[in-house]
Amino acid sequence: MSFQRTIIVVDDNRSVLSAVSLLLRPHFANVITLPSPVRLEESITREHPACVLLDMNFSTGINNGNEGLFWLVRLKKRWPELPVVLFTAYADIDVAVRGLKEGAADFIVKPWDNRQLIQTLTGAADQKGKSHRSVESSMLWGESAPMTALKTLVEKVAPTDANILITGENGTGKEMLAREIHALSARSRKPMVTVDMGAIAPTLFESELFGHVRGAFTGAASDRKGKLEDATGSSLFMDEIGNMPLTMQAKLLSVLQSRQVIPVGSNKPVDIDIRLICATNCDPARMVADGSFREDLLYRINTIHLEIPPLRQRPADIMPLAYKFVADFCMKYAKAPMTISAGAQSALLSHPWYGNIRELQHAVEKAVIIAEGTQLLADHFSLNNRTTRPPSAAPDEPVTLEDMERKMIADAIERCQGNLTAVASRLGITRQTLYNKMKKFGL
């Protein structure tokens, strides 16, 4: 089970609490802020934090640091393993050093350096987590009920070797979920191997998956391991599994049954030991019904089915994710911590987010880049685009060439019930071109 980190920050300056909270949200599952230590022990008992950031002074006019030392000693008596980092002004460094002797994990001097603050606190939290199986989560879980339920299920199935099929729209985070599953598994000592089935030329499928020996075909100058052999002892993530040709589906099924691969040009089988994680934005049942996917292979890869709901169906996740991205990009572009105005929050919550988390992330990045102050306004997010039609347009009338192209592709996908081979044929383009355009439009 993953060790989801919580941090409690105690400071009587609400501006400090707000700024530190923004900085820490990308690095802790839960950031709790308290203006005084009065309810600190109650909060620790309830929340089980991985770390506490404790200011040294709380009473007006008193700046000797003794209050911080008092609470430090009190906390270490009750929770000796709990890392407490002291928050102190430059003039009180001597008091902070005394705090180290009393058991503080470290101290941070105000005004602080953002990177140093994050490194100090995450490092302290990691020290406490060593008695648990600590994993830095790669998944953007959010706070909604559907994602909480999904997270609970993931924590149950991840430690097993069961094959997993992840479904969901483009941009929902299927690859991130695969990486989370791998990180929580017993195979996490080796890196997960990824293969994008939508990006492999049809003529290279077999070589890419099974490998080849020297001389197997023109250009095969040396032996080469395939993805299946590379993933031995680890997890293999096959993204866009629905794009696999039927002929290759039969060969993959045989490999999964025998646990052996035969490289192209060889007759010597090679044993493999993998945990298979697959993903698709198509409906697996429809693929089987229209004959584009083998039913027996679906049973083999679908021991556990995990569905990631689209962002528009879990609005409770929009603002937590937005604030996480704001903090990420403020750090990336060396900008001061930013807040999101009430108007911008309203715009974000009413936007349909057809591109899901990926679209939200891009919108926030653009907003952080163009904003000049420390507050993001609705105009900074540029949400009046192809997914938000102007009032003058008819409900179903595209307003740009890009709108028309997206609508044509979306209609074809619906008519072909998610069969991308049939969609590409209908539109007169290659499957690779279709795949690239689907990514572009968030379909």
The whole-chain average pLDDT of the chain stands at: 84
Query: Residue 90 pLDDT > 70, yes or no?
Result: no
More confident residue, 48 or 296: 296
Residue 241 has pLDDT above 80, yes or no: yes
Q: How many Cβ atoms from other residues are within 10 Å of residue 204's Cβ?
A: 12
CATH number of 6-129: 3.40.50.2300
Strand order in the sheet with 275-280: 193-196, 235-239, 275-280, 164-167, 304-307
Q: Tens of pLDDT along 115-171?
A: 889 989 998 888 764 433 344 467 888 889 999 999 999 999 999 999 999 999 999
- pLDDT of res. 250: 92
Name the token pair of 62. Answer: 């008193």
Residues with Cβ < 8 Å from 58, sequence gap 6 or more? 12, 36, 37, 67
The DSSP bridge pattern shows strands 30-34 and 6-10 to be: parallel
Where would I find the H helices in 305-353?
318-332, 342-350
Over residues 39-68, the mean pLDDT reads 79
Please indicate whether residue 282 or residue 131 has the higher confidence score (pLDDT): 282
Confidence of residue 1 (pLDDT cuts 50, 70, 90): very low
How confident is the model at residue 317, as a pLDDT? 93
Bridge partners (DSSP) listed for residue 339: 375
Instruction: Provide the β-strand partners of residue 51.
Output: 7
Structural class in CATH, domain 145-307: alpha beta
In what helix (H) or strand (E) does residue 31 lie, and over which residues does it extend? strand 30-34
Residue 351 CB contacts under 8 Å (≥ 6 apart), including other chains: 383, 387, 388
Domain 312-381 falls under CATH 1.10.3720.10? no
Looking only at Cα atoms, what is the longest distance across the chain?
83
Q: Domain spans of the chain?
A: 6-129, 145-307, 312-381, 401-441
Q: How confident is the model at residue 70 (pLDDT cuts 50, 70, 90)?
A: confident
pLDDT at 38 exceeding the cut of 80: yes
pLDDT above 90 for 102: no
Q: Judge if 6-129 and 145-307 fold alike in CATH terms.
A: yes
Average pLDDT over residues 410-426: 74
Give per-residue burial for 387-417: e unless 16+ CB within 10 Å, then b: bebeeeeeeeebeeeebebbeebeebbeebb
Q: pLDDT tens across 350-402, in order?
A: 999 999 999 999 999 999 999 999 999 999 998 864 443 333 334 444 456 66
> Which single residue is written with the structure tokens 């750090």?
331
- Percent of the chain at pLDDT above 90? 44
282, 418 contact by CB (below 8 A): yes
Q: Return the structure tokens found at 255.
A: 């490999």
- Which amino acid is it at 210? F
Q: Which of 60-64, 166-170, 217-221 has the highest mean pLDDT?
A: 166-170
Cα–Cα–Cα angle for 370, 371, 377, rounded to 5 degrees: 120
Q: How far apart are CA 208 and CA 132, in angstroms?
A: 38
Strand, coil or helix: 17: helix
Rounded to two decimals, the pTM is 0.60
The percent of residues above 70 in pLDDT, for the chain, comes to: 89
How large is the average pLDDT for residues 220-246?
Answer: 90
Amino acid at 408: M
140: tokens are 């953007």
State residue 413's pLDDT score: 79
DSSP single-letter state for residue 311: G
For 149-243, strand residue ranges (E) read: 164-167, 193-196, 211-212, 224-225, 235-239
Cite the DSSP H helix spans in 57-113.
66-78, 93-101
Averaged pLDDT, 38-45: 88
Q: Which residue has the tokens 């890392």?
A: 83
- Give the mean model confidence (pLDDT) for residues 221-226: 86
8 Å CB contact between 214 and 220: yes
Interior/surface letters 258-283, b for 16+ CB within 10 angstroms, e for the rest:
eeebbbbebeeebebebbbbbbbbbe
Cα–chain center distance at 163 = 20
Distance from C-alpha of 287 to C-alpha of 19, rounded to nearest angstrom:
49
Distances (CA, A) of 101 to 71, 95, 145, 303: 14, 10, 44, 53
Q: How confident is the model at residue 243 (pLDDT cuts 50, 70, 90)?
A: confident
Q: What is the pLDDT of residue 91?
A: 56
At 290 the pLDDT is 87
Q: Provide CATH code, domain 401-441.
A: 1.10.10
